[in-house]
Each structure stands twice: as structure tokens, then as C-alpha cells.
Structure 1
Amino acid sequence: MPEGPEIRRAADKIAAKLSGQVVETVWFGLPRLEPFAPKLTGRRVVELETRGKALLIHFEHGLSLYSHNQLYGRWFVRSRESYPKTNRSLRVALHTANASALLYSASEIAVLDERGLGEHPFLSRIGPDLLSHDLSRQALVAQLRASRFRNRALGSLYLDQRFVAGIGNYLRSEILHFARVHPKRRPSDLEAAEQRKLAAETLAVGRRAYELGGITNTPRRVAQLKKKGLKRRDYRHAAFGRAGKPCYRCGTEVEKLSVASRRLYLCPSCQVALR
């Protein structure tokens, strides 16, 4: 499933072509959405926004197009009415004078007014957006210390979109690895300095993944690995997907676990569980 950084990058591509432009033609591939096509046609796009793994296209008259890609959804941005060769099912087509934004395979799509945004079952429950400029290290520490989160194992907490929206499976492994925290530990088990470190790495890894297109290793490490001839799949992450390979920090073999029914990767030497 695409995580927050991937959705934000998709939003950036759509915004580059649609923001400030009038959508001349709107097409929906789901019958329940067809009545909204005339309401969006001829309207200007005023803003693109992401909230965790959800993407919102805001129109000038107060309506917003909501989408959540889940596992299979994907946005394409093309020249007008230039469709990609794909076996995916087209769900949404937005055409301006010169460009098209096309959403394939997603099923969680809605057209919402301001009230609908506030009452939406996903949007109304999620926590702060991982990539929001308003999310600070101090705010994240406060989240970790909140009564409803402080006694939950970090391995499950970091998949809960009510904690921080936009973190998925690869970011969870990478954040905990860079913070040197075992997934069985709880925020209440951490010293204040460890909480601050975890909050800082949460922000740093998330923003790095956004800026570098899903790469979570530091630019310095990536450069070193590239010099050795490694491909993107080998230098992209520090822990995720690297079971049996040496930890870049200490050389111990990275292990693969199942936490909250999802695969998680860690270094057993750098990320020690409570004894």
C-alpha cells in the first residue's frame, strides 16, 4: 500500500497540472459518483491536500474529491486524454484544457462538502499528518505521552493512523530502526531522551522518504552504497526487506518478524527488547 510520502508525491504531480486550472470534463467509473460529475465540471481546482494516505482535491465551490488508494489505486498525470497502457480499471478522469489526472483501481472515492469532510469515517479519526509542517518533534512527544497511546507496543502503535497518519509498513520498520527502539517497547518504557529521539526520527525518516521518492537511508549512506554498485532495491532501506543481511550500523543480521500481522524488520543488537 502506498504510504504518506507516496501519496504526497502523487498530489504534487496532480497539483502541478491541475492547481488553479478549470476542470473542463469530469468522468467517474463508479455509478454512485456519476451525479457529482456535473457539479465538478467547469470548476477550478484551488488546492491539493493529503491527510495521511488520503488525497483531497479541493474545488472552488466547496466540494472536494476524496480518494484513498488502498492497495491497488494509482494516479496518473498525462497530457489531455492520453491514457496509459494498463489493465487497471479507470475510476476517475479529470480533464483540463491541456492535462488529465486519472485514478485507476481505487474504490474508496467520495465527493464531499465541508461538513462531509468533518464527518468522514476515516478523515475524522486520523491523527496529525506525518508530513505536515505543523507537526513538530514536541507535538510528537506529546502524542507518545498521551494516555491512549503511551502503554501500547510501538510495533502496533506505529500502524495506527489515529496516532500519526501516513505511516505504513516500510516506514514503521525504518523509523524504529533509526531510533534504535524495539517494537515491543511502549512509549511509557522509554526515557525522555529516547522519546525525543523517536519523535525526531519519525519526522526525519518520513520527510526523507518524501523528498527522495521512498528512500529512507540517509543520502550519505546511499552515495556510499551506490559507489559499491548497489541497485535501488539494495540501497533504499536500512532495515525493511533486508532480512539476513548485515545491519549497516553494527553488522548483525537483520531479522524479520510479524508484528500486528504485518512484516517488520529490525536489528536485534541495535534494537534491544526489554529484559
Structure 2
Amino acid sequence: MPEGHSVHRIARQFGLHFVGHPVRVSSPQGRFVDGAARLDGHTITEARAVGKQMFLRFDNDLWLRVHLGIYGAWDFAGDITVDATVAAANGRMGQTNQRGTVADQDGANGSESSLSSIGAPRRTRLRMAEQEKLEEPIDVFPPEPIGAVRVRLLTDDAVADLRGPTACEVLTPDQVEATIAKLGPDPLEVDAAEGEERFVSVVRRKPTPIALLLMDQGVVSGIGNVYRAELLFRARLNPHTPGKLVPEQTLRELWRDWTRLLATGVATGQMLTMDDLDPDDYRKALASRDDRHWVYHRAGLPCRVCGTNIVMEELGGRKLYWCPRDQA
């Protein structure tokens, strides 16, 4: 399932290429015909990510809410930018300016993302979900929909196809605010101090294990299985510790660390959770998940700090990775 950094990157792609443009909205699959009709022909005015959910506002005061879930993905094609975050920061799009930032073979080795350049050729195709995959350039625009496309958003220069989402619905402003109100704070969406206080105050009231609380989108937005394991290891925190027994300062450090890791994920497109890497190790970490994490997906392998074998267990229906010594 895409974690928070992926959804923010998708929202920024929409911000670059769809916001400010009238959009033709359709449902090639046929399951979103009524919703598409309510949005068709209107201009997108805002793209917003909150945790694992994205919201697109249209000029008729309606919003499109999308939650990708486990199987959802956006396919972008046309005059698009591979790394929308970098392009937005630099005020450019579609320029190939740094080959080799991520290894070209990245998509074949189980990484969370698979970009091979910051820029992109025009008339290209990019899939954005848990992973990001640059595909073959297209010869005809718009390309024919591939697979069961729930909704297609089309401008004169770009197209976005949504497939397999958990949620795809049209909401009013009040409904959007009600939905967001149920979510925990997202470091990129709220004032840092306010978000920290909300997170700390909620967790300190809960007897639930901290490993489950970090995955609860009503407690904090955007954290998934990878970031959960890595945050707990970085804090040297036993995942079974009840939230109310975690020291307040540790909770504050957890929130601040999540803020840092989320910003890194948005900037790089990778869930990069190891700090202070030398240039060679940094390149390896960007290219391969095996060199990117402290404990995630390392069951049975020695801890990078103490040498104790990393444990994997089922908790809340998800795999949890942790070091039984450093996180004792």
C-alpha cells in the first residue's frame, strides 16, 4: 500500500499538470459514470494529500477523493514530469537533468520506487502507486486506457488514469472536511507544533501497543508498514509498549522523526530511513531496498547495529520487523 510520501508526490504531479486546467472526466470502466459526469468539463483548482488520501478540488466546489488502498495506482501520460517535487522546486518540468540519481535497474529489485532520472522526455508514461515506474514513451496522445480504468482525467497535454482504488468518490466541501477531521495529523498538512501536540496527546491516552498506533490513520496520517518498523527502530522503542507508557519526549521525537522521513520520501521518491550515509552507500540505498532500511524486510538477518537477528512477527494483520535487543 502506498505510504504518505507517495500520495504527496502524486498530488504534486496533479499540481504541476492538472491544477488550473479544465479536465475531461470519464469512467472507461463504467463504475464511476455518475461521478465523472458531475466533474466533467470543470477546472481542477487544488490538489491536496492528507496521509494516504488525496483530494482534488474542482471549480464547481466539488472534490474527488481517492484512496489507492493496496491495489490502486495512477497512470500518468503525456507532457508530464517524472519527479514533480524537484520540478516544482526548480520551476521547470520535463527536463532530463540528472541521470543516475536512482539506479536504472531499480524496478527489478523490489524497491519502493523506480525512477531513473529527475526529468522525463515529453509524451511519456509514468505509473505512481507504492512504486513509481517510468514506462515506454507514447506515440499517440491520449493513449488508450489500459485495464479497468475507474476514472480518466484528461487535459490538452496530460492524462491520469486511476485503477483499482479502495475509494473513489465525489464529495462536497463539508464532506471533505468531515473526512479529514477523522484523520490524524499529517506533518506536511498541519502546523508542526500543533500536529506534534495532537499526536502526543492521543497516544498518551492509549493502552494500545505503539506499533499499532503508528499504523492507525486516526492517530497519525501516512505511516505504513515500512515507516512504522523504521521509526520504531530509530527510536530504539519496543513495538509492544503501550502508547500511554511511552515517555512523552520519545513521542515528540517520534513525531519529529516522522516529519523528517516524510520530507525525505517526498523529495527522493524513496523510503530512505538510514542517515549519515557516505556517497557510495547513499547511491546504493537509493538503488536497492536491501541497502535502504535498518530492519524492514530483514527477518533473520543480523541487526546493522548489534548483530542480533531481526525478528518478524504478525501484528494487527501486518508484518512487523524489529530488533529484540536494540528495541528490548
Q: TM-score normalized by structure 1?
A: 0.86
Q: Within 2, Cα distance between the matches of 1:130 and 1:259?
A: 25
Deviation at 1:21, TM superposition (A): 1.1
Deviation at 1:189, TM superposition (A): 1.8
- Aligned pair 1:64/2:63, yes or no? yes
Unaligned runs of 5+ in 2: 79-140
Q: Within 2, Cα distance between the matches of 1:60 and 1:225?
A: 47
5 Å-filtered alignment, 1:173-184, equals: 173-184=229-240
| Preserved CA contact (<8 Å) 1:7 1:50 | yes
Deviation at 1:131, TM superposition (A): 3.0
5 Å-filtered alignment, 1:125-274, equals: 125-136=182-193, 139-146=195-202, 149-218=205-274, 220-221=276-277, 223-225=279-281, 231-272=287-328
* Cross-structure match for 2:20: 20
* Secondary structure in structure 2 of the residue aligned to 1:56: strand
1:128 maps to a residue whose letter is: P
Cα distance change, pair 145–255 in 1 and its aligned pair in 2 (3 A): same
* Cross-structure match for 1:50: 49
Deviation at 1:177, TM superposition (A): 1.0
Give aligned pairs, total: 266
| Preserved CA contact (<8 Å) 1:127 1:165 | yes
- Aligned pair 1:97/2:153, yes or no? no
The worse-fitting range, judged by mean Cα deviation, of 161-170 and 230-239 is: 230-239
Deviation at 1:15, TM superposition (A): 1.9
Cα distance change, pair 43–131 in 1 and its aligned pair in 2 (3 A): same
Deviation at 1:229, TM superposition (A): 9.5
CA deviations on 1:37-78 (whole Å, 9 max, x unpaired) are 343222111110012111111111201111111111101111
CA RMSD in angstroms comes to: 2.5
Deviation at 1:260, TM superposition (A): 1.4
Deviation at 1:118, TM superposition (A): 3.4
Q: Within 2, Cα distance between the matches of 1:230 and 1:16?
A: 24
| Preserved CA contact (<8 Å) 2:29 2:148 | no
| Preserved CA contact (<8 Å) 1:127 1:163 | yes
* Secondary structure in structure 2 of the residue aligned to 1:249: coil
Q: Within 1, Cα distance between the matches of 2:286 and 2:34?
A: 51
- Aligned pair 1:81/2:81, yes or no? no
Cα distance change, pair 225–83 in 1 and its aligned pair in 2 (3 A): farther
Q: Within 2, Cα distance between the matches of 1:8 and 1:219?
A: 22
Cα distance change, pair 226–165 in 1 and its aligned pair in 2 (3 A): closer
The worse-fitting range, judged by mean Cα deviation, of 141-150 and 176-185 is: 141-150
* Secondary structure in structure 1 of the residue aligned to 2:277: helix
2:168 maps to a residue whose letter is: I
Cα distance change, pair 150–14 in 1 and its aligned pair in 2 (3 A): same
2:3 maps to a residue whose letter is: E
1:48 maps to a residue whose letter is: A
1:69 maps to a residue whose letter is: L
Cα distance change, pair 147–196 in 1 and its aligned pair in 2 (3 A): closer
Deviation at 1:201, TM superposition (A): 1.8
Cα distance change, pair 214–62 in 1 and its aligned pair in 2 (3 A): same
Q: Within 2, Cα distance between the matches of 1:147 and 1:160?
A: 11
Q: Within 1, Cα distance between the matches of 2:302 and 2:220?
A: 30
Cα distance change, pair 178–111 in 1 and its aligned pair in 2 (3 A): same
Q: Within 2, Cα distance between the matches of 1:176 and 1:227?
A: 24
CA deviations on 1:163-188 (whole Å, 9 max, x unpaired) are 01111111111111111111111233
Q: Within 1, Cα distance between the matches of 2:34 and 2:167?
A: 17
Deviation at 1:27, TM superposition (A): 0.4
